[in-house]
Amino acid sequence: MLTVFAWLFGQTRRFANLSSVHGFYSDQLTRTFLGASNEGRLDRNSWKTRASSASVIWKGDDCSGARYWNWPRPPGFKPSPEGAAAFRKPRPWDKGGPLHIVNTTVNETVDERSGVQNRDRKGICLAIGPTALSLGVRHHMITGEDGWTVFPDDEDANRVFKAKSKTPPEPLSLGKWMSISGAAFSAAAGANTTVPLAILCGMFNVRLGYWWNSNTGFGARWLDRLFPVQSAFFAEMFARTHGTWGQLWNLSDGGHFENMAGYELIRRRLPIIVIVDAEADPDYTFEGLSDLVRKARLDFRSEMVFLNAFELDGREAGQPLVKGASPIPDSVRPYFGDLDALRRGKWTTEELTNNYGAADRRFTLEADRTRPSKAHAALARVIHGDADDVDAPRSWLVYVKATLMGDEPEDVCHYHRGHPDFPQETTLDQFFDEAQWESYRRLGQHVGHRVLTAELFEHLRAHPA
């Protein structure tokens, strides 16, 4: 009898998520970031009847993923005339609006094929976009009006997604995907996963991740098929997640794989890429950026080369302006520098040597969080493929870092004087007061208006990398 009850309980896959704090976390994020644009919340009559429910999800706060992205559609799916018209309806990105790509991590601490524990990444990137799912380097499910296409398209190749399946992956709302993408605190945390921490988080139910029904079922063990819920609990608590091997995939924060959200942009080889580094990095060690550079090189053979101060000016060290060079516009040049210029501290007189063997303007730096930086942004060329191939595709990468140069509004500078870690305070602080919130908002506006200008983008488009 106990076995029967255990089996019945184990089939309720939803319980793996209902038993965690993911639902509460998802509601709070949806209310904060999506509900803020809900026009229904501006209706006085609504507030009279629901004045005490400001933190509760209202109608219109969230929207379904199918409505937002128009996927997934099974093979052979015959939409109604209204559904077909909705699929062809122009989306916000068709009119110049943002095209949202949500990044998550599929946690994989143990390789099911070999049984060997992963010691490095412990996860795979899963990106959700308007027409597709992208997993890792080569696995894709691309949705069209009449169904989906799976890549790799070779039937003999190792494919994660089922080509002939009529059951789509579990559809989730935009708010759900957003909250999964921000689920930083969880027993399974990609490269940050450790057995002691997983056990501790499991015991105290610190589980913000989500068990997603991929409807693949590829290679699932008999125990996972009979008792999927129990298997999920034990896998998460003892850091034994199996990635895409089973039907339930453990998803968590996309930053558990790559924190800059640049991995998918490098994959697409966009001509101009803008990355805003918002991770807590008080001493400017660029850990997240270095991780992106490494993964781009290993997975896509894309090399990022940051320009030094001379190259930003269109010349070589100790030489006048190079003929045919294209220095960045004077309007933005004061706010750009090499990566060293983004750091803050005490500059000494000990000169360094740059990559060309000539004395550079860079000096050794003693970290000091109370001092300003010399730039807000850096510029890099991204070379896709062989660096010696002049015909290799290339991209511009504009890297923006939260920095202070000393010319910010007085209230922002005052906040920094009282909080030296600003603007790189720990993300563990989830309770902002008015001064903190406004300081970050105003600094972002200040930096954006000086760095991300029309002149800069016109220059980059006119001078391809």
pLDDT tens digits along 252-297: 998 899 999 999 999 999 999 999 998 899 999 999 999 999 999 9
pLDDT higher than threshold 60 for residue 52: no
pLDDT digits (tens, 9 = 90+) for 323-343: 545 788 899 999 999 898 999
Q: How many residues are recorded in the chain?
A: 465
What pLDDT was estimated at residue 54? 56
pLDDT of 29 above 50: yes
More confident residue, 354 or 111: 111
Please give the pLDDT value at position 274. 96
181: nearest Cα among 243, 261, 245? 261
* Cβ proximity of 195 and 7 under 8 Å: no
342, 378 contact by CB (below 8 A): yes
pLDDT in tens, 129-144: 887 789 989 888 887 6
Mean predicted confidence (pLDDT) in 310-315:
82
> Of 99-108, 308-317, 354-363, which one has max mean pLDDT?
99-108
* pLDDT value for 437: 92
Q: At 123, list the tokens.
A: 């996860």
Burial 268-287 (b: 16+ CB within 10 A, else e): eeeeebbbbbbeebeebebe
pLDDT in tens, 183-196: 888 888 888 888 88
Whether 227 has a pLDDT exceeding 80, the answer reads: no
Q: Please say whether the beta carbons of 51 and 81 come within 8 A.
A: no
Residue 324 backbone zone (phi > 0: left; psi -120 to 50: alpha; other: beta):
left
In this predicted structure, what is the pLDDT of residue 222? Answer: 59
Per the CB < 8 A criterion, the answer to whether 185 and 198 are in contact is no
Is it the case that residue 76 has pLDDT exceeding 60? no
- The whole model's pTM is what? 0.86
Q: Which two tokens stand for residue 108?
A: 């994989």
Residue 21 tokens read as 């704090």
Of residues 60 and 1, the one with the higher pLDDT is 60
pLDDT class for 218, splitting at 50, 70, 90? Answer: low
Predicted confidence at residue 357, as pLDDT, reads 47
Q: What's the whole-number mean pLDDT along residues 52-64?
A: 72
C-alpha radius of gyration, the chain, whole number: 25
Least confident of 251-265, 291-305, 382-396: 382-396
Q: Taking 70 as the threshold, does the pLDDT of residue 47 lie above it?
A: no
- The pLDDT-based confidence of 454 (bands split at 50, 70, 90) is very high
Which of 63-67, 164-168, 328-332 is the least confident region?
A: 164-168
What are phi and psi for residue 183, nearest 5 degrees?
-80, 75
Given pLDDT bands bounded at 50, 70 and 90, which one contains residue 90?
confident
pLDDT at 71: 65
Q: What's residue 107's pLDDT?
A: 92
316, 356 in Cβ contact below 8 A? yes
Whether residue 322 has pLDDT greater than 70: no
pLDDT for residue 445 is more than 80: yes
Residues 6+ apart with CB under 8 A from 378: 306, 307, 336, 337, 338, 339, 341, 342, 399, 401
C-alpha–C-alpha distance, residues 430 and 352, integer Å: 40
How does the average pLDDT of the chain come out, rounded? Answer: 81
Range of weakest confidence among 37-51, 92-106, 332-346: 37-51
Torsion of CA 404, 408, 414, 418, to 10 degrees: -10
Mean pLDDT of 350-356: 58
Which has more pLDDT, 84 or 286?
A: 286
Report in angstroms the alpha-carbon separations of 291 from 392, 421, 434.
23, 23, 33
Q: Which of 56-65, 86-95, 231-240, 299-308 has the lowest mean pLDDT?
A: 86-95
